[in-house]
Amino acid sequence: MSRFKNYLSLIKFSHTLFALPFAMIGFFLGIFGTKIIHESGSPGSGQLLIRFVLVLICMVTARSAAMAFNRYLDRNFDARNPRTAIREIPRGIIAPNNALRFVIICCAAFTITCWFINPICFYLSPIALFVVLFYSYTKRFTPLCHLVLGLGLSLAPIGAFLAVTGHFESLPLLFSGAVICWVSGFDIIYALQDVDFDKSENLFSIPVAVGKKNALWISGLLHVLSAAFVIAAGFVGGFGGWYWVGIFLFTGMLIYQHIIVKPNDVSRVNLAFMTANGIASVIFAFFVIADIYITHKHW
């Protein structure tokens, strides 16, 4: 049990909360937002329940692989950074080779699970894994690393939608656009904590490249774009009142984190990063799914 808890801590399992609600949006869009429930041969309720579980497994294994790989790859940086030296690998709680084995097991589990979902998810699984694992390298050569992280998490609504329908549509792509901008924006805020360390190690980030004040402006712009994407999705999807309540609360949480974090005061970054964004994603997903379920709209 202690070892299990160590691995949960390694991958920051609670942070799964960020992308999982958007995956649920994609899943329920696939059920109620298309004609799949009326098509001959479409999944029945039992099959959809199984597929729901498989989507959850994919979310957990892909994110766990990405996070553990990031910890493995950055272990030497983490050991030299006072903020991250308490992590499991630098402290010797988890051996680097064991962390790498964990990554391989999660990648294999993700790929096998995709095979059980449908052919398109299986064929695209290597691309998804490449994106989420490649992020860990990007801070070594580009300040746009935050956007790559956002891209990785943006696969959640598209992947969940594909798991149900087996084809692409524009509406889930709008939600993915919202995730890219939302995650990139709050990752920039999170990176404010390590500006001095990143400079000393020649690591890249937007705060390092443009300074804390300008980085917050860029983060704010990305969050405005995120709000624009969900608003566009609301019009494209013809959502009802519940959805717009969700947008109001979601954008409110985006504004809140920019109020509490200042260029000269990053003491509340963790409050903005975990609390505000965790609440934002869960609340937004609740209202979106409620709107989908209650109105049973078919796009």
Report percent pLDDT > 70 for the chain.
Answer: 92
Task: Say if CB 268 and CB 260 are below 8 A apart.
Answer: yes
What number is the average pLDDT over the span 231-243? 93
pLDDT at position 45 is 66
Structure tokens given for 219 = 């983060």
What number is the average pLDDT over the span 128-140? 97
Over residues 253-298, the pLDDT tens digits come to 999 999 988 888 878 887 776 778 888 899 999 999 999 888 765 4
- For the beta carbon of residue 35, count every other beta carbon within 10 angstroms: 10
CATH number for the domain harbouring residue 175 = 1.10.357.140
Over residues 18-56, the pLDDT tens digits come to 779 999 999 999 988 654 444 444 556 678 889 999 999
pLDDT at position 5 is 85
- For the beta carbon of residue 158, count every other beta carbon within 10 angstroms: 21
Query: What are the Cα distances from residue 156, in Å, to 114, 293, 298?
Result: 13, 20, 21
What number is the average pLDDT over the span 145-172? 94
The rounded distance, in Å, linking the Cα atoms of 31 and 225 is 27
What number is the average pLDDT over the span 58-65? 94
Who's near 176: CB < 8 A, 6+ residues apart? 22, 154, 155, 156, 157, 158
DSSP label at 234?
H
pLDDT at position 297 is 53
Domain that holds residue 82: 2-295
Q: At what angle do helices 145-165 and 20-32 cross, to 10 degrees?
A: 30
Q: Is the torsion defined by CA of 134, 208, 217, 262 positive or negative?
A: positive
Over residues 87-97, the pLDDT tens digits come to 999 999 999 99
Over residues 161-198, the pLDDT tens digits come to 999 999 889 999 999 999 999 999 999 999 999 999 99
pLDDT at position 84 is 94
What is the total count of domains within the chain?
Answer: 1
pLDDT at position 39 is 45
What number is the average pLDDT over the span 132-136? 96
pLDDT at position 32 is 80
pLDDT at position 34 is 54
**Phi and psi, residue 39, nearest 5°:** -80, 145
pLDDT at position 287 is 96
The rounded distance, in Å, linking the Cα atoms of 72 and 100 is 7
Residue 205, by phi and psi: left (phi above 0), alpha (psi -120 to 50) or beta? Answer: beta
DSSP label at 211?
-
Would you call 40 exposed, middle or buried from its count of C-beta atoms within 10 A (0-12, 13-18, 19+)?
exposed
pLDDT at position 163 is 94
